[in-house]
Structure 1
Amino acid sequence: MTISASQVKELRDQTGAGMMDCKAALTETGGDMEAAVDWLRKKGLSKAAKKSGRTAAEGLIGVGAGGTRAALVEVNSETDFVARNEQFQTLVATIAALGLDAGGNVETLSGLPYPGSGKTVAERLTDAVATIGENMQLRRTAYLQVSDGVVAHYVHNAVADGLGKIGVIVGLESTGDKAMLNGLGRQVAMHIAAHDPTPVAVLTEEVDPAIVERERAIFAEQAAQSGKPAAVVEKMVEGRIRKFYEEVTLLKQHFVVNPDLTVEAALKAAEKDVGAPIKVTAFVRYVIGEGIAKTESDFAAEVAAAAGTK
């Protein structure tokens, strides 16, 4: 019997199971949709659908590194407990490595073949939901590449090599010594991970004008309350804007490794040892779960509801 693509899709929509599993279920049951659902339930594969609506704000940031290029991925789970699961860590590390071939596109990454499974990354994640028992999501990915130099990385709160709660990749373009560049790049990545406020751009001119104008409006209102002449207020605002640029522009920030120097000055000083000029091309910083609204549950209320009491 031939199983159509529309039948597979219908079963997948109902159960949340992987495409290959849905096809197998329909084949085994002669195309009977209800029997196929039961087949998947017996295999423990359909329960993924029930978990797909639950908030996944924990998990891991993974780094895939390859010399002149590197990728970041964020794979979310519902609890931090799962992030310590070796099976989940292997899953994230594998997806991070595949990120080198996705070019920063999460849809492309989701559709790439997952090694040794005969399934895509998305289908492998669905399988993992059923096996591990929590909702999981490949939320985002980023990619950096330089023509000559290194893309260095750093992972904070690491649970394994290249896996943790904060991940940073940073591109350093240079014809100089690659080993030294990589060490320096790791320090810059550590700075980006640790610095508060987080840099939003490498250079002053790269800061989003909308962000600058919003800050300018706030500073102007604050300065106007001083009651000083307009010319003085304008100078006060410009001074605050310069300070703002120093806070949010990577090269103008004081280097975490040596606070006596800015990142820009530290890179300039390192050029002698590296043997060539150094340019920071770009950086990306991921923090697990940032921007996800977490659902706070009232455990006592849940128990009372389950017991039929108030």
Structure 2
Amino acid sequence: MTEPAQSLGSVTVAAATLLPLRAIIEEAGLQPGAVLAAAQLPPTLLDRGSGEAASLAGYFRLSEQIALAIGDETIHVSVRPLMLGTSDFIRDRLRGAQTARGMLDILAASYNVIHGGAYNRVATARDELVFAMDDADFPYALPKDDPFILFSLEALLVYVHVLLQSSSTGGKLLPLKAVRTRRAAGGESPLAAWGVPVIHGAKHFALHYDGAAADRPVDPAACPVLGSRTIYGGIARTLDRIGAPLAEGDIVARTAQALRDGLHDQRDIARHLGLSVASLRRRLGERGRNFRDVRAETLQREAELRLARGDSVAAIAEDLGFSDGRSFARAFRGWTGRPPHRSRSDAARP
């Protein structure tokens, strides 16, 4: 059985499951509303009792914003922080993979090195290719059966699958047969909306592919998922692309998100959204906006967030697509009327 291409875009997670993220955000001295806004999510999402839900792409965007803000790609789920740059490390190690099995072997070995334990393994049995994550001894910062931990590991299965699928050549879907989770039977996983059988109450988390997937050719160097600043950003963009068709009402939000994801050219953003440049301009115009203003507002908010957490002007300039620190400083002064260093000092005041 293969999963429908669109079904991952239908997976949502209840806000109640994500509540531990609010404590992580606040412990880092950040404002939940600002972090949620940067992830293009409702400002009340993490309010207790909100009753809202986030898309899977929204969860990955939120995780990326938190990871960038606190400098830990585990977003404090592990007691051992994981430095930013994991995507670069994984991409370098994957460069030589030629088959899906080879790619999974490298992923498992790499993450075992990163986390300091034999938590991941790959096996072939009963005509299946299996990627398993055994977290029995993983040093979580939360109870291992906390609903957020269970969902986080299920989301990691999505990460592995999307990474593998995005690297697969030939355009065919990988033959995913089933997903395993430690979530107890009766506690339905958000992945139920994936369209793949979910086996509950397992001893570990796993992806089960048909054995024929093992020899599927891959090209990790061309994988768009690994071009992000964190392991989360590329997954979010991929899920956005396979989700629901672009609605008229969210064209401004989707344009802003593309800018935050590192696409700076109007032509590239239009292509990312499946539009021509003329169509992008027309749809923004219908919302009373234009690309130049959306770009300026988005980059200003991103720059102020980065300055507030202490990032260097040079790093911000590079990430936001400016040729150097001087051109960024000129743009920032034009947006705010003050130089970047003044904004940093203002943010540091109690």
Normalised to the residue count of structure 1, the TM-score between the two structures is 0.29
The structure with the larger Rg is: 1
Greater helix share, 1 or 2?
2
